[in-house]
Structure 1
Amino acid sequence: MSSKLSSQMADQATLVPLNGSNSSNSTNNKNLIQSLTKEQKLEKISHYTSCQEENCKCNGFKQKEALEECKTCSHDQASHLKQFNEHSIAQIDRLFLTVLDIETLFGLIIKEEDAETKQIYYFLFKLLRKGVLCQSDTSVEGHLGRPPFEQPSITKSILNFIFSKYQKSGELELQNMFEASKIFLYCLNMWKFESPSMFVKRNTLESHKKQALYKLNYTRWMCYNFVPSFCECFEKYETIAIFGVTFLGLVFPIIKKEIQEKFVREKDKVPVEKRVIFSTYLPRFLNSLEEELSEENSVIWTQNVSLGNSVYEAEIYNMLKGENLNVPYFESFKPKISSDKVTRRRAHEISEKRKLEEKECELNKKHKSEGDASDSMIKELVREVEAETAESQEAALFSAMASRDETARNEQKRGLIEFHVINNRLDEDPEDKILIWLLMVKNVFSHQLPRMPREYITRLVFDPKHKCLVLVKDNRVIGGICFHMFPSQGFSEIVFCAVSSNEQVKGYGTHMMNYLKDYHVRNNTLHFLTYADEYATGYFKKQGFSTQINLTKSAYHGYIKEYEGATLMGCELNPNIIYTELSSILKKQKEVLKKMIERRQEELGKCFPGLTCFRDGIRQIPIESIPGVREAGYRCSTEDYKFFEENMDPESLYTHLRAILNQLKTHASAWPFQKYSPSSSNLPPTVLSSGTTGPSGRYPMDLKMITERLKARYYSHVYLFKADVMRLFANCRESFEPDSEQVKCADQLQAYFEKKILEINKQ
């Protein structure tokens, strides 16, 4: 089974192109079958068949020297071939292939040094030997079971993981992580796993149950995948199609290590444009998957996760069949060829029915308004922003607008930092690494929280009911969050939270809390509660906590630990948000919106004259009343003037404003705002005749001036009309004493005016 790929690996490498060797053996066997005559094939088969003479117990023809009779039973060769007289050529060819496989296994039994692997070869050798001797079935069943051994399969679980975690992260992110997953699945499918004895030797601390479980799955892999790759009489299955999370969890640590080492050694074979996948996305994928493997209740181990984007539907369809897993960046990786692969065109046909069903659902969920950007335009802008982001990732780290967790997120992508959710366990002995991490995070809490008793911290950190999210950098814990989950109550209590003093102000605290939020969203626990002292309230407010608790007191009272002098704070999580990617998603949305505005400005290309209303004393006007703003797509969200938002026809606006103005002019309290002559001594003074030098003198306004402006079509928007009317009342209050008759009239008329505006709005 030598191959070009295996020669490129180091002595410890375990990646073997099983499919390549299978194809080579198949070609050689077919050539051999075609080159031999029927008599030559039967002569070969006779060495493994029983003698048909009565009372003869000979199990194989062994020719005497220079004689045509059996060395064991003295019968001729024809006596060992009587049962095949009625067999067709195809049946004889099948028997001949089985005989070739028997001889292959016999050679492996002699060469194999590992006792357990040799035992598996011997079991299969006897099975084939019995199949030829007794003309019986050669399928491998019994206590091994029949594939698949677990659902969902490794392929389906990895796809669930990719699409549940990265589908909302953008097309570029999803595509690169999808490519990283294909690399991992291909390597896993080609892997030659270590023997059970080597597994026990390397994992001396593993329980006997895990060791027995590995031995069972190793035997299954040998019988259903490895041996069938060069013995055609056994039905071959793909590793990633018949095994699930149990087997993946057992072999993942060594596979992760060797994949990373392999691609470091062979990075020169990767095209420059693809190296970012191996240097950034593959390590990040492996680290994230390692975290997910520790979660027993993760959604990726279920079958009902939507695989979403139909762009990948063809590849997904083939991957679930064990196909389309080739890695084109290495010449030694051989692509698999199948006659019924699904093309992208056929994938479009497959998903057509689902698209039609989803289309109606999408239309019901989202109602587009006039002026909204098209989906195609948004997708185009998203691609532009993602391309620009990919080109300037390093520059973004030093940007003044970089988010708090930008640095930490990029360090995690590059594998410089890792997050692990761990806890002390009583049902089995925890790994030494877990205990060391718990001890390290306890020391971080003790150093950063000096007012908290060390014995108390130690008791909670090592309490099996509490878990710790640890931040590991350079093989040491530099931060962590100790928390206690109450799934039945729907919340989790954050007990301790700290980052080493020399690692602060780097965004680790924010990214660590975001990671914890995503962990709880995956476990359907959507509330955080914590008691924060005066030094921690600022941090928790930045992470979305507040003193307003959305949980009922009965849900948490008596469950959480209360501290004197601390403030109870809570945070409600949104299950539709990926918190570790939130800042980058918001940044991307802002960039898309900015580009959309720029593109809309280019499309308009129209100039408007400057505003003249400020010359008349108006200090501020609504944005939407500025000419051209509405054409650019601006929408006002104020509900008070919804009627005017929907009826901006100039004539309709003029009619409604004229009706309001006439009602104001005929109101009993309107007399201070009429145009009276200052010399009329028989009338009380009005706003214009008060003789003050206040604002009424600088910005005079009365009902007559408003009437003239209305006739001149000055009021292009209701807000301009309201501004002039409100100036009437403002001038009056500044011109007269608060308890004067004029101010009382201003109060009454203003209330009447606002009431009329609301009445028209409700019509």
Structure 2
Amino acid sequence: MEMSEKSEAGAASEGASKPIEISRQISLQRIQQRKQQLKNWQRNKKLLKLAIYSACQEEDCKCGGWKTPTPPQKPPNPPDGSVSLANFTDPCRSCTHVLESHVRHLENLPEDEINRLLSMVVDVENIFMSMPREEDPDTKRVYCYLFKLLRKCIAGMTRPVIEGPLGQPPFERPSIAKAVTNFVLYKFGHLMPREWQTMHDLAKMFLHCLNHWYFESPSVRKTDATYEEMSEYKVLYTRWLVFCHVPAFCDSLPHHETTLVFGRSLLRAVYRSVCRQLMDKCQSERDRMPPEKKILVLTHFPRFLSLLEEDVYTQDSPIWDPDFKQLPPSHLQGITDTVKVSSQSTRKPGEFEKVTVTPNEKESFTTVNLSPGFGKKHLRTDGNAASASEKKEPSGEVVQQSEAKRRKIEEGEDVPESVVADIIAVISESKKMVGPEDIFAENAARDEAAKQEERRGEIEFHVVGNSLTQTVSKRTMMWLIGLQNVFSHQLPRMPREYITRLVFDPKHKTLALIKDNRPIGGICFRMFPTQGFTEIVFCAVISNEQVKGYGTHLMNHLKDYHVRQNIFHFLTFADDFAIGYFKKQGFSKEITLSRSHYFGFIKDYEAATLMHCELQANIVYTEFTAVIRKQKEIVRKLVERRQKVVQKVHPGLTCFKEQSGNANGGWNKIPIESIPGIKKTGWQPPASSLSPTPSTSDSKSADNEGLMSALKSILNQARNQGIIYCIQG
């Protein structure tokens, strides 16, 4: 292992010795930073690094990797912290061939493949550095096997595949996650929504703990287990190491969640030990818990674990039945039906429904690119959608009413799908849509110009933020400085130091509007995922770029970003100048979010109004105006088609001819019922006009006179004060 750089695996292995520890996350971040550092190297330096693990390409040479001709002396460390590498002409200590002979086959590989091999090199070095620190012989053997496998894959430029007697995941059916879900439905399906939600949250907490737990090695369990139990646990432990634990910090290996690939065997083997340690940990941290969490963890969680233990060790428990079927609670059945319908349907252009994708759990970023890729929207997974909807706790009555309403609409639908499809094809085909309205759209959407600029690549949207745990790119830092200047210039009443502190605070993020590679606007916000809302802190666009729809398009991008993050409430304190903007974006002074969710979390400002906006998960906000416009166009086309079928020409009005001899020289009014064909359209005269009485006529006349006198009084007062000089005369 000559010339190998400092490995981060030592820290990773130490962090793995304890369940759920912060040092583990720090170690994983350092490993990712190390991989990124190697990927940023120049190509020649990358090849020199890979030469150590690459077999010699000369004929009949069996050298497995280049080695330095003599043990290197310790040179001074360069600024980037890496060790200086050799040259392509240096001979190998094993085969005497030059280093270039070991990398000849790598020269034509694409950059992505070179980076993948370098990532495997970092994983190899991490495992190598972990082996001396590992005292357990079973774990050390697994590390040795994975070390050899990855070295072989680097030399052969292949992807690692675990083969042999271990098998392939999933190893049992049903999985632990499915069994625990069955348990919640089976035991607590009869509870009221709030109690059911508590048990559902406890189940998620338990599964999360299992996915991040470091299980005992077989040697530790030898004292209290039989030979058969030890043999079975050794297989389970090896599978867990190979497919779950080691891939967590060596991402060259395929990673699987513990609760998704293991089943009853592993849970039975570790359940009592895990529960005991878990409750000890909860007791030790009880003084640092908030009151709500303390009640949940110390009161409800032990009962939950006790009930689950019975079904884990009961031989004929129904939760382990692969074909277990039970209806969800009544307050969730409507939500489940909605999720099933949305998952079966595919999204078409111009529709609100979005494609379900697997979310990325690794949020180790300081910049998120929201465009290019305009128009491609993603939604949460079905499970997340259900859980988010469960928090609203809709009553069964409301769900039944909405279902009945939906059925009634579907039964009364009289427009064939083929007709609607033909209309969509016509309005979507620009060659068929001719006329001035196609170029000069009447009542164009506020964000239409901004959307066109985004499609042309003239503007981009990025979520940027500072970080204390990873390196922030120079571009991101320059954008943050630019955003700080934009906010300071556009919000002069806000202290500059305060703006700087929040923009560069790692807990805050900013959706930046980038034009010509510099920020011209942005929305600074802080997310509170546990509370279910986001606080909007600053929102501004530079003055010479305003009135172009950028502000609306910014907010729509922010809404779509939060829908993907499963956050559906915005809160902000708006001053008098910003209230109008926020109202246009769907904000209201009426706060429907419970005060307990946000009190003590958001920043309070003087002379500002708290405003709230609730997001809808089934809307793509950046496409909302286009969808509404298309819906209006479809209705207009349907009306035109209907008019062609039922069109009838009626004779003109005769009242003009009849009133031509009027001494006053004109007509007073046209009775609506005198219009030919008006009654056939379904119009009916108001009830008051059917049987007029003297009393109603007198009251109407009195009302008109009172209104006239009130309006004259207002007009005179306005004239006297000179505030309507433009109409005086």
TM-score > 0.5 by shorter chain: no
> TM-score, with normalisation over the residues of structure 2?
0.42
> TM-score, with normalisation over the residues of structure 1?
0.40
